[in-house]
Structure 1
């Protein structure tokens, strides 16, 4: 499978995984191209909603978003209702206005850890952005600029610890090249490469 349209057709044909929704995760290292790929896939799906985990994470809890995702998005989906989550403002250090997430046929959730153990049971499909941690993090740091360099140093440690304890890559249904966006193959059972 190499075409985005083929992937969109495959995802649409899957059985719902939470209520009426086929929840699809796009996971990978920070800077690996998750947001760009999720936006392209959402467009190929006719405008599928995308939940950005950066909107649910906080400075204090970069991976502490699982409860918020469950309570504000997944539980409503399970009831056949739209979700609505409050978006974290990274400048003001607080949650702001809620954003509605329709219980659409396919909903994408993208971010580091989107395929974590606590979320996998309700995923219809898990995509892994295939780009090594060093290259991805360098790309993210270049994107965000030197003013966020100290944040990135802390983030890299937190990400490394997260994936050491709860790797997503070995559970991915498909890998996506983090440079080209080309769809590759399943990584089921493959070990996560060392960072």
Structure 2
């Protein structure tokens, strides 16, 4: 059984927590395979909608305030209304348009900090994805280019602080190896 199938089976076995829909948070360190898993879940998950946390951070330094925008997205969805968030434009280094997300049967929130405890009551399943640190760095540089190397050390420090504060891995419903499809 693939990781996506494992996660989807778990999600489907639980009652809705986000209005009439379910919320899957895919968290873990940068470069661990969260985006790949989210894509696989969305492909197999019917009308699943994926929101990438990269769109919600205020640049490289925005991780500490990771939960700030989640309220405007998740709280309206919890009562059956559309939610929204401001999208961060990494190329322009500034806030861009407001993105509206309509209720769906499955919202996949993917990225570092997606499993913040502030919204644990709305989370159907919290999945943690991990791989060895050297593979994470290799993937990150391959994905984002050599220019990210200068930001990587600070980002890994910031994400560790979030994971410790939130106890994300300990609270996860399932821990997955990001090297396994």
Q: Tell me if both proteins adopt one fold, taking TM over 0.5 as the criterion.
A: yes
How many residues end up aligned between the 2 structures? 180
Report the aligned-residue RMSD. 1.9
Check if 1:69 corresponds to 2:74: no
Task: Give the aligned partner of residue 96 of structure 2.
Answer: 96
Greater mean deviation of Cα atoms: 57-66 or 41-50: 57-66
Structure 1: give runs of 5+ residues left out of the alignment: 182-195
What do the CA deviations read for 1:114-171 (whole angstroms, capped 9, x no partner)?
Answer: 1222222211111111313443234212332212211212212211222232231111
8 Å Cα contact 1:63-1:113 kept in structure 2: no
Secondary structure of the structure 1 residue equivalent to 2:87: strand
Check if 1:80 corresponds to 2:80: yes
Structure with more helix by fraction: 2
Check if 1:139 corresponds to 2:139: yes
Question: What is the alpha-carbon distance in structure 2 between the residues aligned to residue 85 and residue 24 of structure 1?
Answer: 17
Task: Give the aligned partner of residue 161 of structure 1.
Answer: 161
Task: Give the aligned partner of residue 58 of structure 2.
Answer: 58
Alpha-carbon distance, 1:178 to partner:
0.4
Greater RCO, CA 8 A, separation 6+: 2
What do the CA deviations read for 1:19-68 (whole angstroms, capped 9, x no partner)?
Answer: 22211100110000101110110111024001111111112322313121
Question: Cα 1:157–1:3, aligned 2, differ >3 Å: closer, same or farther?
Answer: closer
Structure 2: give runs of 5+ residues left out of the alignment: none
TM-score normalised by L of structure 1: 0.83
Alpha-carbon distance, 1:4 to partner:
3.5
